[in-house]
Amino acid sequence: MVYHRSIRLGENFYCYVWIGRGNNCNSILLCNVLRGERPHVLIDPGHIRNELGELCFDSLNRVVEENGFKMENVGLVIGTHSHPDHFEAVAAVVEKSGALAALSREEDEFYRHVGKMFFSAFGAEPPQVNPLFYLKEGDLSLGAKDKLAIKVLLTPGHSPGSISLYLEEEKILVSGDVVFFGSVGRTDFPGGSPSLLRKSIDRLSQLDVEYLVPGHSTEVGNIISGKQKVERNFHMVKMFI
Ligand SMILES: [Zn+2]
């Protein structure tokens, strides 16, 4: 079964929006950006299997394949944060492809000390993830001749080391669980902070964004498209926090 809807936002940018009944995150594939034989970058691979038994990772593999790519050719896997519904399949991706894993230092520390416990609470195994490098606030350029320029923003609040990824040229913002359509990330999990979330949302709202790709779709199967809609959404969600 395929529970992901594929939306292509640019030459190298595919969103895999989760449309299953249970919980899982949206995933993103940046295809053909790295040098070498494993040129793809995968952001937030999500669950392996969710609370309803939907085979999330299997579905992701299938949709990636339908688009003409292979999980085996992922060279880098990025986690916006370490919650199970974003991070569980990271080790599975690494196992399939030998990809390098990356997240923020803050989130890695949180994961080692506290975040792992989420997994047992959800009845899942915490993946063994050894990040090769840490994603820091600032510019990250990937591939030959800086093929893809990404701005990494540390946006804590939902989780202490949550990152958002901004593709300035394409005006695409990948927000993880900081902001959704009509709502914001929960702050009642360990490590959550409403005041930090508010600051993070303020920062993100200042970017020039045409496509907002949230960690989950509150409007089924969709991302937030169009500058006006994105601006209105920021305006609305700021009233909640
Ligand atoms: Zn989360």
- Interval between CA 190 and ligand 1 midpoint (Å): 11
- Interval between CA 22 and ligand 1 midpoint (Å): 15
- Read off the pLDDT of residues 98-112 as tens digits, 9 standing for 90 and up: 999 999 999 999 999
pLDDT at res. 144: 80
DSSP-derived secondary structure for the chain: ---EEEEEEETTEEEEEE-SSS----EEEE-S-SSSS--EEEE----SS-TT---HHHHHHHHHHHTT--GGGEEEEE-SS--HHHHTTHHHHHHHH--EEEE-HHHHHHIIIIIHHHHHHTT-PPP----SEE--SEEEEESGGG-EEEEEEE--SSSTT-EEEEETTTTEEEEETSB-SS-B----STT--HHHHHHHHHHHHTS--SEEEESS-SSTT--EESHHHHHHHHHHHTTT-
pLDDT at res. 145: 78
- Interval between CA 178 and ligand 1 midpoint (Å): 8
Does 219 have pLDDT greater than 90? no
The residue whose two tokens read 């085996």 is 72
Mean pLDDT of the chain: 95
- Interval between CA 117 and ligand 1 midpoint (Å): 14
Q: What is the mean pLDDT of residues 35-57?
A: 97
- Interval between CA 36 and ligand 1 midpoint (Å): 32
- Interval between CA 159 and ligand 1 midpoint (Å): 7
Does 146 have pLDDT greater than 80? no
Percent of the chain with pLDDT over 70: 100
pLDDT at res. 218: 87
- Interval between CA 90 and ligand 1 midpoint (Å): 14
What pTM value is reported for the model? Answer: 0.96
Written as six digits, the tokens of 32 are: 């053909």
Does 123 have pLDDT greater than 90? no
- Interval between CA 85 and ligand 1 midpoint (Å): 7
pLDDT at res. 220: 81
Does 94 have pLDDT greater than 90? yes
Ligand 1 (single-atom ion) residues, CB below 5 Å: 83, 177
Q: Which pLDDT band, with edges at 50, 70 and 90, does 183 fall under?
A: very high
- Read off the pLDDT of residues 50-93 as tens digits, 9 standing for 90 and up: 999 999 999 999 999 999 999 999 999 999 999 999 999 999 99
